[in-house]
Chains A and B, each alone.
Chain A
Amino acid sequence: MLRIVLSRTLPRISGISNCQYSAAAIPVPNAQPEVHYNKLFINNEWQDAVSKRSFPTINPATGEVICQVAEADKADVDKAVKAAREAFRFGSPWRRMDASDRGLLLSRLADAIERDTAYLAELETLDNGKPYAVSYSVDVPMVVKCLRYYAGWADKWEGKTIPIDGDFFCYTRHEPIGVCGQIIPWNFPLLMQAWKLGPALATGNTVVMKVAEQTPLTALYVASLIKEVGFPPGVVNILPGMGPSAGSAITSHMDVDKVAFTGSTEVGHLIQQASGSSNLKKVTLELGGKSPNIIMSDANMAEAVEQSHFALFFNQGQCCCAGSRTYVQDTIYDEFMERSVERAKSRVVGDPFNMKTEQGPQVDEEQFKKILGYISSGKREGAKLMCGGGVAADRGYFIQPTIFGDVQDGMTIAREEIFGPVMQILKFKTLEEVVERANDTKYGLAAAVFTKDIDKAHYISSGLRAGTVWINCYDVFGAQAPFGGYKYSGNGRELGEYGLDNYTEVKTVRTPSPPQYCRIKCSGPIGNIS
């Protein structure tokens, strides 16, 4: 039942045309890429942790240890913050650099990553479990595009001169905030690193980044490229470590000016509290979601089924914006369900280094158990198991693509973020009803509607309380378009021009302007200025 399914998954990601990434174009991967970097990266140097501790990073396809990685804790965070603060000092090379040169460095980093696409994709697949074909043709190219996008912004982020009342000359400077703590998750390790570094460095900040303990390897390799292309020491510091120790040290640090976190809503709460308890550092959060995907009766059925499948199952279901509540209009419910089940049953689960694999393992044992727990709750609370529902292999953390039907809004699987390959399909009757039910959640990250009717599309997209609304598509991303959540899904936006706001302090400068200039008249042949 192996099928080549690349043509199904790939064109759904925007910016990448199908023809560019045919199976033939992807090189055969090395399933055992060598790990070159497993220490802390501070001040452009590789260092052991002060405590000398290390932790293992696991290959989720096999459950085996890939290697040990140095484990950062508070003492290391202190060192990194000192380095970042020094690099941010007024008069430092980084502060004095032409903005266009910051852009050039980001461009060079993009070039270096592009050069090492194959290796980075192998390492990403080894550490995270996502299919290599996807790492190679989606994750890494999107990283390159994101960095190039922000490279372009570096010398275009402009302040204003402002006509205030009175004899004043008034202007704003768009300054970097300072030392930025960035904590990134394990679901898109490389891409999340680029989303964070791009805007922060384009605007001139320095960074202390804690990468997820499940997936530290690709970020550390990128650190070596950061040094290679010429970023000054201390501008980017990368610390592998645990949330409660290293992550917490960053969020409560008195000399970190801002923290950006992507991860669970649960931890998001802790970060906001930590900011309040420490130095009121600026906080931006990209958290969880339980995104509604609404299928109207006039939708193109084949498209809707395929997109909805992709919306949930992409990346092993490990997407903050996964379309995990699929609302289908009653008149087409049965057909939609039948086709969705057929599609899910045909999903190829297996070795992520196999080019035919669509779904790899979940990232670790904790997630694996949690997802199986949700599946049990679904069965227990009366949802109808349509396919899957269990473990898919003897070793590693593989779960069968699972679909529940007859899901009610009150069920646990309809309210809580599962973060796994478990699809919930719910029935609705009217437009107004579904908008209300879709909004009845603490989350607000993304949403989608499938319909041919221009008015319905507009009504729904205006009515849904979600940071991204897709119409007749799903998971379409571009570095140019902002992404972020309403309500408990976070605050602030990443990507696009909007992403720059979060890394900028606006300084207003006013100086008395001598009143004489207002009253000068030029009596020559050219006319008056008064």
Chain B
Amino acid sequence: MPVPDLEVQYTKIFIDNEWHESCSGRKMPVHNPATGDLLCEVEEADTEDVDKAVRSARTAFQLGSPWRCMDASDRGLLLNRLADLVERDRLRLATLEALDSGKIFLMAYFVDLMATVKTLRYYGGWADKVQGKTIPVDGEYFTYTRHEPIGVCGQIIPWNFPVMMFAWKIAPALCCGNTVIIKPAEQTPLTALHMACLIKEAGFPPGVVNVLPGYGPTAGNAIAHHMDIDKIAFTGSTAVGKLVQKAAGDSNLKRVTLELGGKNPNIVFADCDLEYAVEQAHSGLFFNQGQCCLAGSRVFVEDSIYEEFVCRSAEKARNKVLGNPLVPGVDQGPQIDQKQFDKILELIESGKREGATLECGGGPWDRNSLFIQPTVFSNVTDDMRIAKEEIFGPVQQIMRFHSVNEVIQRANATHYGLAAGVFTNDIDKALTVSSALQAGMVWVNCYNAMSTQCPFGGFKMSGNGRELGEYALQEYTEVKAVTIKISQKNS
């Protein structure tokens, strides 16, 4: 059960293990999207606060600092301790997350918080296993590589999985020995600030993690352009991803990794388990109010099972229970804010206008709220806006296809390339299609199956670099090769 009458404890900017007011004196309002209520106000970080944080993070990264001198295994121990603390405060964090983001409380508790703990523990385990090599070079030399941390890392995270995204970012960064400045989304700063408090409690030295709530165009922009930030990691829209990449080129060529949008194809062949595929495609789209970069928002269904599939999908969508995210039994909460709400409705209208068949839903759930009816469109063609643009809402598109080659071509005909699904019992089809799809993650007979050990990231304009798994370590490592002259080399 969620914590009743939860009071928000942390609303300031976290720099150097201390709580600060904003340099400008400004604050940002934080709302509960399910009710529209103001939850609290939070200090708003801007350029000057970013400068302060960078100075703190840079000092914490100095050669000889406690963080730099620490045993790698002790960095791992700190991450594990943080995981323990998150576990201790799991109920509180899940409640806060549900209030701030509108996501279903039980999902926050069982999915978001579990993934957060597991991610921290996973990277806790990697800390003393990031290994360089000794290398048999030509000539009388002894050569080895050091896998060093990059330095001060700026991290900008979105509002759809606030605390989980927080863990995905800080864990590999800290594991490798970097220091971090992280800007949570302005819509959802609260769990990030609670994490800041736990970071201090766990024993991370001051300046290692700094948490700055603020807006993209101000604080985010300051981070992306900063001349003393060595790397930036951004998760968010492709539009802003492009700005981040430009800013890096404009400033100090900081290393850039991006996790952006998707318009992910979910391909259902006639030889699958139909009911199971319907269910997976449904949760593959509607999970988290449709606010997932991974959402399977183009469901390609083979001709012979198309009608049945559409019928069952619409039925499922109609049966969804909307309501207060804190109440058990509710399946779908509100969208995050007015801007998203308006955008989703606009795209729904475009679907109707461009000739797709509206199977169910198609509008707001009630007046004066941010809830949208679960919506299913069938007879969608590839040129429609709802087939091309990322909607990020509870709107499912179901398209018809005839052959393997055709669907592969159509699935790949997008600038995005984040994820894809394939439902079939035929091993050949599964291997063929999964090899051919231009996507960073392909699921066969499942969807949204994620685990901290497995890399996550996009092809093409869905981003670059990978998060999670061993692969994420590369993004937070700078390789230094050291070559020492010796008088006689032997094998």
Contacts and interface: CB of A to CB of B under 8 A. Distances in A.
Contacts of B80: 107
Contact of A149 (B73, B410, B432): B73
Contacts of B408: 520, 522
Contacts of A520: 405, 408-409, 436
Contacts of A511: 427, 431
Interface residues of B, number: 43
Given A524-B409, A526-B460, A529-B436, A458 B486 contact: yes
B131 interface: yes
Interface residues of A, number: 38
Given A148-B73, A156-B453, A480-B128, A100 B121 contact: yes
A32 interface: no
B409 A522 contact: yes
Contact of B413 (A149, A458, A524): A524
A169 interface: yes
Contacts of B77: 148
B442 to A, nearest CB: 12
Contacts of A479: 73, 128
Contact of B438 (A104, A459, A497, A526): A526
B124 interface: yes
B412 A156 contact: no
B68 interface: no
B490 A149 contact: no
B142 A513 contact: no
Given A169-B431, A458-B142, A480-B128, A100 B453 contact: yes
B432 to A, nearest CB: 5
Contacts of A497: 129, 131
A517 B125 contact: no
A103 interface: yes
B43 to A, nearest CB: 37
Given A100-B453, A459-B487, A514-B431, A522 B129 contact: no
Nearest to A98: B451
Contacts of A155: 122, 125, 452-453
Contacts of B436: 517, 520, 529
A103 B488 CA distance: 44
Given A155-B453, A517-B436, A526-B438, A480 B412 contact: no
B432 A463 contact: no
A153 interface: yes
B453 A462 contact: no
Given A100-B122, A514-B431, A523 B129 contact: no
Interface string B116-146: 0010011011111101000000000010000
Contacts of B405: 516, 520
Contacts of A104: 121
A517 B435 contact: yes
B463 interface: no
B76 interface: yes
B373 to A, nearest CB: 33
Contacts of B409: 520, 522-524
A243 interface: no
Given A103-B125, A458-B142, A526-B460, A152 B76 contact: yes
A379 B302 CA distance: 91
Interface string B359-396: 00000000000000000000000000000000000000
Nearest to A520: B436
Contacts of B453: 99-100, 155-156
B37 interface: no
A386 B427 CA distance: 77
A481 to B, nearest CB: 10
A107 B81 CA distance: 12
A151 interface: yes
Interface string A341-383: 0000000000000000000000000000000000000000000
B413 A525 contact: yes
Given A145-B73, A497-B131, A526-B460, A152 B126 contact: yes
28 contacts: A100-B452, A107-B121, A149-B73, A152-B76, A152-B127, A152-B128, A153-B129, A155-B125, A156-B122, A156-B125, A156-B129, A156-B453, A158-B470, A455-B486, A455-B487, A458-B484, A459-B488, A479-B128, A497-B131, A511-B431, A513-B431, A517-B435, A517-B436, A525-B413, A526-B413, A526-B414, A526-B438, A529-B412
Given A459-B486, A516-B404, A526-B415, 11 more contacts: A149-B73, A152-B126, A152-B127, A153-B129, A155-B452, A156-B453, A156-B470, A458-B484, A497-B131, A520-B405, A529-B438
